[in-house]
């Protein structure tokens, strides 16, 4: 399952050490999000992450995007 740049950025802002923590962190954040577009993005990412296997999530390479953000 492919993630967009925006989805990857959102996951990086959340706890992304494992799939379960990412799901927990997104769900915990949803009640506090008032911006409609950000809420929709969170819900979309949540659905994608929930439908991934742990192995699929572990295969996501966050280091490439983190390196780009540090430039």
User: Which domains are assigned to the chain?
Assistant: 5-64 (1.10.10)
Report the distance separating Cα 47 and Cα 52, nearest Å.
9
pLDDT at 64: 64
pTM: 0.83
Distant-in-sequence, close-in-space partners of 48: CB < 8 Å, separation ≥ 6: 1, 3, 7
pLDDT tens, N- to C-terminus, the chain (71 residues): 789 999 999 999 998 899 999 999 999 999 999 999 999 999 999 999 999 999 999 999 888 644 454 55
């Amino acid at each position: 399952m492919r993630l967009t740049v925006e989805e990857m950025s959102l996951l990086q802002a959340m706890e992304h050490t494992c799939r379960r923590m990412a799901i927990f962190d997104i769900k915990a954040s949803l009640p506090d999000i008032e911006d409609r577009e950000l809420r929709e993005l969170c819900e979309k990412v949540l659905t994608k992450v929930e439908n991934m296997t742990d192995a699929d999530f572990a295969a996501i390479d966050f280091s490439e995007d983190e390196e780009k953000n540090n430039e």
